[in-house]
Structure formats: structure tokens, C-alpha cells
């Protein structure tokens, strides 16, 4: 992919906000930050328009919680048509990380992620959607 350079004019206050964003997120430069902001906006647009997208659902949970594994499996079976793959990692004696690769309409991916993340024993969950598909 070719990189194209262009100039941008901003009000001083907005430039200060951009520089704060760069520093807070540890970007190496403004271009990297602007690239991320544009990508995030495009992903949000695709999601709002229920476009076909690909992504990953990440879950961290205590596998000792009663009936959690059965609930996770039941929900995933309800969405078999959008799940490409799932990987399970043992973080320590109690905690597991699961990464579920998904592809489909954005609303359906979000629905699956919401159902999984809202389970009582889930400690952390996130849906990441890719802008390219």
C-alpha cells in the first residue's frame, strides 16, 4: 500500500488536543494517531450500517465458575454461522483467555459479543472489528 503525504490545517486548540491524544496513546507521531482515528471512524460507520465485517471477540474468565463453559458453548452454537475459529488459552490455574474469530453482519457480531460478555463469570470481554474485509 502506497503512503501519500498531505498537509492538514488545524486550529491551535485542536492541534493541542491531537498532540495530547498522541502522547496519551503513545503513538510515535501525529500521522499514526490520525490513521487510527480515521480507521476507528470507518469501523464505526460499517458497524452502524450493519456491513459485513470480520473481527475477534476476546474473553477472560475463571473457568471454575459453575456452568460457565456450558453457557459459552451453547451461545457459540447458536452463532455457528459467523464463528470462524476459537482458541482457548490457560492463563493460570483459574483464568482462561478465549479468542473467537468472527465474520458476518456487524449487528450479529455485536449481538454474539454482548451475549458472551454479559455472562456473569466473564471478567473482561471485547469485540474488535477490522475495517478491511
pLDDT digits (tens, 9 = 90+) for 90-126: 999 999 999 999 999 999 999 999 999 999 899 999 9
Question: Are 105 and 120 part of one and the same domain?
Answer: yes
52: left (phi over 0), alpha (psi -120 to 50) or beta: beta
Task: Specify the pLDDT at position 66.
Answer: 87
Question: Are 73 and 118 part of one and the same domain?
Answer: yes
Task: Specify the pLDDT at position 105.
Answer: 95
Task: Specify the pLDDT at position 132.
Answer: 59
Task: Specify the pLDDT at position 44.
Answer: 87
Q: How many structural domains compose the chain?
A: 2
Task: Specify the pLDDT at position 50.
Answer: 92
79 found inside a domain: yes
Task: Specify the pLDDT at position 1.
Answer: 73
Task: Specify the pLDDT at position 131.
Answer: 64
* Structural domain boundaries enclosing 74: 52-130
What are the residue ranges in the chain where pLDDT is below 70?
Answer: 131-133
Amino acid at each position: 500500500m502506497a503512503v501519500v503525504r498531505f498537509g492538514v490545517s488545524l486550529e491551535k486548540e485542536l492541534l493541542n488536543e491531537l498532540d495530547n491524544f498522541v502522547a496519551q496513546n503513545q503513538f510515535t507521531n501525529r500521522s499514526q494517531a490520525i490513521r487510527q482515528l480515521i480507521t476507528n471512524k470507518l469501523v464505526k460507520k460499517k458497524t452502524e450500517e450493519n456491513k459485513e465485517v470480520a473481527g475477534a471477540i476476546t474473553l477472560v474468565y475463571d473457568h471454575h465458575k459453575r456452568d460457565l463453559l456450558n453457557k459459552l458453548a451453547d451461545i457459540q452454537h447458536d452463532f455457528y454461522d459467523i464463528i470462524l475459529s476459537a482458541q482457548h488459552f490457560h492463563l493460570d490455574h483459574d483464568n482462561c483467555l478465549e479468542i473467537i474469530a468472527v465474520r458476518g453482519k456487524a449487528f450479529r457480531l455485536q449481538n454474539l459479543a454482548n451475549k458472551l460478555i454479559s455472562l456473569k463469570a466473564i471478567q473482561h470481554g471485547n469485540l474488535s472489528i477490522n475495517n478491511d474485509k
